[in-house]
Amino acid sequence: MKLNEILAIAGRPGLFKLIAQGKNNIIVESLIDGTRMPAFTTDKVSSLSDIALFTTGEELPLSEVFMKMYQVYDKKEIILDFKNQSKEMLEQFAKAVPEYDKARVYSSDIKKLMTWYNILVKKELLPFEEEKKEENVAQQEQESTNDLSTKEETKPVEEHKSVEEHKSIEEKKIEKKEEKKEKSTTTKTVKKTTSRTAASKTTASKTDETKPKKTSTATAKKKTNTEKK
């Protein structure tokens, strides 16, 4: 429930919830017993969002007063007899809001605030929706900040990994290129050697063909002797 939906009506005990609004009146529901009734323009109706507490400094909105009490009193009701324990009541209130202006805030005002506080705690209306939203926003901002810091911490590692991977890929490409170059160089060398060998064989065969055939000397001499006889 929002703070501006909770009303205080002068002359009526407790707090009220706004149910509906008409032209000349509003319908409210008591937070004490759930009774519904009209409140007219002649009634002095105040929203809790419009009420503030006098302090030694600036005025303190009632929502902040209740939240201070809620935290100091461990989110529990105040167990006090406000009529007969006024001294204890003032001491308890001073623990929650030590800066309240003692000259302008009367014991009757503190009694009313503590009574309202007990009603809100009993109905589980604290913290108000505004405070819940602010807490959720603050929590989300904190979580997003933590996520960003975590990402920033892991980002250099990831970048380092990507750089290393990129380097390894480039190195592999260079190695493959070098292997291809070596293979092509070896192939060219083998081809040159083979062509040179083939060329030398061809030259040798041509040389053999061009050499004049030698006639055996012994055979020639035998032919000459036979003719002389």
H or E segment and range at residue 9: strand 6-9
- What whole-number distance in Å separates Cα of residue 144 and Cα of residue 225? 126
H or E segment and range at residue 28: strand 25-30
* Partners of 7 in the β-ladder: 16, 47
pTM of the predicted model as reported, rounded to 2 decimal places? 0.58
Rg for the chain, CA atoms, rounded: 54
- What whole-number distance in Å separates Cα of residue 68 and Cα of residue 72? 6
Whether residue 207 has pLDDT greater than 50: no
How much of the chain exceeds pLDDT 90, in percent?
47
Q: What is the DSSP letter of 5?
A: G
pLDDT category, 221, cuts 50, 70, 90? very low
- What whole-number distance in Å separates Cα of residue 123 and Cα of residue 44? 24
pLDDT category, 6, cuts 50, 70, 90? very high
Whether residue 220 has pLDDT greater than 90: no
What CATH number is given for 1-50 in this structure? 2.30.30.730
**Residue 48, CA atoms < 13 Å, CB-side half-sphere:** 26
- What whole-number distance in Å separates Cα of residue 72 and Cα of residue 199? 108
Model confidence over 31-84: pLDDT tens digits? 999 999 999 989 999 999 999 999 999 999 999 999 999 999 999 999 988 888
Model confidence over 86-123: pLDDT tens digits? 999 999 999 999 999 999 999 999 999 999 999 999 99
